[in-house]
Every structure is written in C-alpha cells, then in structure tokens.
Amino acid sequence: MKNAVVLLSGGLDSATTLAIAREQGYTCYALTVNYGQRHRAEIAAAARIASVLGAREQRVIEIDLRGWGGSALTDDAIAVPTAPSPGIPVTYVPARNTIMLSLALGWAEALGANDIFTGVNAVDYSGYPDCRPEYMAAFEAMARLATRSGVEGAPISIHTPIIKLSKAGIIRKGTRLGVDFALTVSCYQADALGRACGRCDACRLRREGFLAAEIADPTVYQPA
Amino acid sequence: MKNAVVLLSGGLDSATTLAIAREQGYTCYALTVNYGQRHRAEIAAAARIASVLGAREQRVIEIDLRGWGGSALTDDAIAVPTAPSPGIPVTYVPARNTIMLSLALGWAEALGANDIFTGVNAVDYSGYPDCRPEYMAAFEAMARLATRSGVEGAPISIHTPIIKLSKAGIIRKGTRLGVDFALTVSCYQADALGRACGRCDACRLRREGFLAAEIADPTVYQPA
C-alpha cells in the first residue's frame, strides 16, 4: 500500500484533492491545520469529509498564527475583501502553505509516507506567491534534502493535482469522483454552523465555479 | 534598522547565534518553538536569554508534534541515547528544522524582516539531514519563492553563522560576545529546574566543547 498525507482544509479544493489521491490508490492520512482562522464548524466539516472519502485517519494540528497578524484571515482588524484586487490579496497569510506543507512533511516522515497531496491552485489565487508551480517545485526540492527518506533514497513527492484547473474544472472533477460538495466549506467567514457569507472572494469564486460547471450549487448561505 | 527573526531554543548554539545577529546590527525578534519536547524551565531559559542578549521581542509558538512520534525527543517510548550511533540519530525529529524555519518565515514576513538566523550546526549532528548546508540553501531558495517579499524584490536570507563551527568554536565565539552560558540549557532531558542529565548526546557534546575550548563549564547538573 502507498501512504500519502493529504492537506485537508474542509474546502472544495482539498476535498477534491483527497478524492484524487484515493482514486490513485493511496492510503490517505488527512491533515487539517487550524492556524487560528477556523470556526469549529469547519474543523467538523474536514473531519466528515475525511471520513466520507475514506481517509485512514485525520488529524488536526493547532497552531496559533493570529499573534503576528499580517492577513485578513488571521487579524480581525483587516476586513475580508468582497471584490478582486490587484497584487497579493490581503487574505494571503504569511508563509501559510510553507508552514502547512512542513507539518505534512513531518507527519509523512513519521508515517514512512513518501507522498504529500495539496489542493493549491494557481488560477483562482494567482496573487498568492505560495500557490505557484515554481514554489511547489522548490518546496519539493527542499523536502528531499530535509528528510531521512531523501537521504536514504526514497524521496518525497509533492502532488498538486488541481494546481492548473479552473474552479469549474475542479468541481467537475470532484463530482465525477463522488465528492459531496455540500459537506465542504469555502467561505472565509462562515458562521458557527458552517454557512457561507456569500460575499467574500472565496464565496464568489465558488459560486461562479458551480455556474460555469453547470452543476447545482449545494452551498448553504447565511440568512440575509 | 535591519530586523531579523532568530530561532532561539534556549540552548548554547542558538544563544550564540542571537549574539552574532545582534553584533551584526540586527534588531532581533526571537522565536522559540515548543513542539512538545520542552520543559517549562527551558522555555523560561529562552526568555531570559532573549532579554539578556537584547532581543526586541520573544515569542513562543506552541505546536504539539508528540502525536506522531518518530523521535526520542517527542516519543517517551524511545530512549534518549547516551552514546553516538551511526546514521541518523533517534533524536532526529521529522521535519523539525523545516517546521521551525517555516514559522520563522511567517513571522519575518509579517514583521517585514528579510533575515532569519538559525543556530543549526552540521558538525556535531552530522547525521541530521536538515542541518546540512545544502538543505539550508534549498530552504532559502524555496523561501524566496514563497513570500511576498521575494515577489516584490527583497528576498529572504537564511543566516547560519555557526553551521561549520565546532562546539568549542561556538563556545569561544559566544564567550567573546558576552553570552552567559549558565543561562542556556542543552540537555535533551533537563529536569524541571533546567538541570542537565550529564549523560545524553547533547550533554556529552557540550561538556567536551567546554573542555576543548578551555573555558569553565557553568552547566548545572542533576544530583546523582
């Protein structure tokens, strides 16, 4: 059996990534990183997705990045934007993907897994430096030098199966693989029940994705 | 003023590294990562060192890596070795330096600092893959692609000023810079008062270092 660690936020992209890893025959260990951004409802969503999609195990790592702020997702003083903006969005969290991939690397090494899957996407969040293919390649090169497995001849691979898909493409792919998107939460400011705001960037991209894919949108929104 | 994030464990190597960063004119932000290995006495030691050596601020990030084990430092079922062994030591913690450097990268980016200092050493722990110069270079290359500052033309530098020094060389360097090594804790199994066991690899290297440097060893050991 091939083991893989799959980063699972509870959103649409990472749920589809988990389904892809399962389709490829991996035994999946789902890692959810709660860096201070998440409501309990989203953690619960990640746990349900891991279970429904057949992850062998799911773990939640708690790490509080709110102390140093620098992002609308970790600093209540910075508003979540409701329209696209040029450059790097304020929802960018400093070094977030590097921190999450590093934690996945640690668990992978402890498990003896040589494969890590992440649902990063370079299309929707083109302003995020740590969603670019060249960044992912550099992380993989670093990871191969960082670890026991790399030294011993079984190097780590970082899989980014949806990095170049549109949101509609991800939704079509996930639907084919049987992902129940009603379980997923994408909203940057979901309420305690996991209901979406319908106004933030993440909600907008998700809604447009279902429209473009011509697939019914199961998202539950907060009452107006 | 140049700002730097300095990884500070509370041990001899990282204390010397902080003193070097200060000597080079950096305003220093000390980051201590408690990944489940530390006694409160060691956290307190790191705080005292940060203060005495003039760090602008010290933060402690808590992240529990004991759940996935894989190291004598995070799994009570694996004994701390008292003699050198071939290959990668059991005290190697999966992806530890990658995780700690990633957290330093996040804080650096939030602060607007482009410099990170770490007291990794390739001599004493030559079996640790993530203490090698080629690993550090790969981390720096990755970090430059990961971050806002890299995209905007002010790339992150990872400084490893003691990576090639012997323990005696580090002790001589720190002594010249006024580091009070009595404040530092190196032992893998220090007691609640921060007193060293005198038997583990870290204690052995430290004692031999003071002997070779011909500098009085201020380490306080546990009663026999």
Q: Is the pLDDT of residue B38 over 90?
A: no
Q: Is the pLDDT of residue A157 over 90?
A: yes
Cβ contact A70–B109 (<8 Å): yes
Tokens of B82: 């008292």
Q: What is the ipTM of this complex?
A: 0.90
Q: Is the pLDDT of residue A81 over 80?
A: no
What CATH number did the domain enclosing B105 receive?
A: 3.40.50.620
Identify which of A95, A132, A145 has the shortest CB distance to residue B102.
A95
Q: Give A70's contacts in chain B (Cβ within 8 Å).
A: 109-110
**Angstrom distances, CA of residue B154 to CA of A85, B109, B145:** 22, 11, 11
Cβ contact B106–A129 (<8 Å): no
Domain membership flag for residue A60: yes
The H or E element spanning position A44 is helix A40-52
Domain membership flag for residue A43: yes
Give the separation between CA B146 and CA A62, rounded to whole angstroms: 22
pLDDT for A149: 80
pLDDT for A28: 98
Cβ-contact B41, B191 below 8 angstroms: yes
Residues 6+ apart with CB under 8 A from A75: A66, A69
Mind listing the pLDDT tens digit for each residue in A50-63? 999 999 999 999 88
Predicted model pTM? 0.92
Average pLDDT over residues B64-92: 74
Q: Which residues of B160-189 are buried (b: 16+ CB within 10 A; e: fewer)?
A: bbbbebbbbbbbbbbbeeebebebbbbbbb
Domain membership flag for residue A195: no
Total length of chain A:
224
pLDDT for A177: 98
Mind listing the pLDDT tens digit for each residue in A21-44? 999 999 999 999 998 776 777 888
Give the separation between CA A15 and CA B67, rounded to whole angstroms: 23
Residue B143 Cα, gap to closest chain A Cα (Å): 8
Q: Give A112's contacts in chain B (Cβ within 8 Å).
A: none
pLDDT for B200: 87
Give the separation between CA B219 and CA B207, rounded to whole angstroms: 8
Cβ contact A98–B64 (<8 Å): no
Cβ contact A95–B103 (<8 Å): yes
**Local confidence band at B154 (pLDDT 50, 70, 90 cut-offs):** confident
Q: Which of A150-159, B86-95, B153-162 shows the highest mean pLDDT?
A: B153-162
pLDDT for B11: 92
pLDDT for A85: 66
* Identity of the amino acid at A183: L
Domain membership flag for residue B195: yes
Domain membership flag for residue B91: yes
pLDDT for B113: 94
Residue B218 Cα, gap to closest chain A Cα (Å): 34
Q: What percent of chain B has pLDDT over 70?
A: 96
Cβ contact B135–A143 (<8 Å): no
Q: Which of A213-217, B40-44, B107-111 shows the highest mean pLDDT?
A: A213-217
pLDDT for A8: 97
In DSSP terms, A4 is beta-bridged to: A28, A115
In the A/B pair of chains, how many CB contacts fall below 8 A?
142
Q: Is the pLDDT of residue B146 over 90?
A: yes
Give the separation between CA A154 and CA A147, rounded to whole angstroms: 10
Mind listing the pLDDT tens digit for each residue in B101-130? 999 999 999 898 999 999 999 887 667 888
Nearest residue of A to residue B93 by CA position? A106
Domain membership flag for residue A189: no
Domain membership flag for residue A114: yes
Residues 6+ apart with CB under 8 A from B4: B21, B26, B27, B28, B29, B108, B113, B115, B116, B117, B159
Domain membership flag for residue A204: no
Q: Is the pLDDT of residue B133 over 70?
A: yes
**Local confidence band at A74 (pLDDT 50, 70, 90 cut-offs):** confident
Per-chain mean pLDDT for chain A: 90
Q: Is the pLDDT of residue B37 over 80?
A: no
Indicate the number of domains in chain A: 1
Identify which of B59, B69, B105 has the shortest CB distance to residue A98.
B105
Which domain does A166 fall in, by range? 2-181
pLDDT for A67: 76
